[in-house]
Amino acid sequence: MSARSMIVFALVLAMPTAVAAVPFTDEFPIESCKFRTTGQNPYFILKPGRQLHFSNQACVDAGECDEFEEAIITVLNHTRVITLKEDGKTRNITTRVVKEVAIVDGELAEISRNFFAECQGTQDVYYFGETVDNYEDGKVVNHDGSWLAGEKKAEPGIIMPGGAFLLGARYFQELAPGAALDRAEHTGVDLEIEVPAGEFEDCVKVKETSPIDATATSTKIYCPGTGLVIDDELQLEGVFN
């Protein structure tokens, strides 16, 4: 079986009397990947200096959101080396650092630095962890949500697969027991989306859940050549290269 086939994510199995969903994929062929810190995945663009601005202004204007939220995602020029152990051997993988800043009603709420790398050939983008600073009144109060592959039994997950976007695919994005276990399911394809940043076609929808918190669900929409366009109520306001 090829590396791509091993990552291709299971579809919902329909039975005559019941519908059974296979588990979320949690094993990936890391050992066969040659990683790079920039990539060609059209839905998840690792280009240093690239910045995306989001807000929930439309939700606020509609009276459906009480707080004004903003998010700024920046692909930094920085990299970070993640150390994994594979079959008793140590492997160092250089990842790209992507900084996310969350602001609520003008006050800083969170800064996270996320670590990604693309598998050359398949264009699968792997997620190797994040460091999180959570703020209150301008001060860091905790680091909840932080995790790092290679530490405390955590392993890389996939943030965005390469190749065909298969409807119904299910896989783990984070594999850090007790800290972060976000997982994704492909729920929509060929979408046309309009947000403040413009109109987009051939977009895809991803539903995110976590077995750690059954109430934590999120819907994201990605569009080719742009990447993330909608994150729940947050809509893309602009892209700066």
pLDDT score at 101: 98
Domain extent, residue 149, equals: 34-240
Are 71 and 104 in contact by the 8 Å Cβ rule? The answer is no
**Is residue 7 included in any domain, yes or no?**
no
| Parts of the chain with a pLDDT under 50 | 1-19
CA torsion, ordered 12, 5, 161, 205, to nearest 10 deg: -20
pLDDT, position 20: 55
The answer to the question of residue 3 being in a domain is: no
* Residue-level pLDDT at 22: 76
| The predicted structure's pLDDT at residue 202 | 97
Please choose, from the candidates 171, 174, 170, the residue with its C-alpha nearest in 3D space to the C-alpha of residue 153. 174
The verdict on residue 39 lying in a domain is: yes
Would you say residue 22 lies in a domain? no
Plot region of 87 (φ>0 → left; ψ -120 to 50 → alpha; else → beta):
left
Structural domain count, the chain = 1
Structural domain contains residue 27: no
74 within some domain: yes
Q: What is the pLDDT of residue 232?
A: 98
Is the residue at 10 inside a domain? no
Residue 26 lies in a domain: no
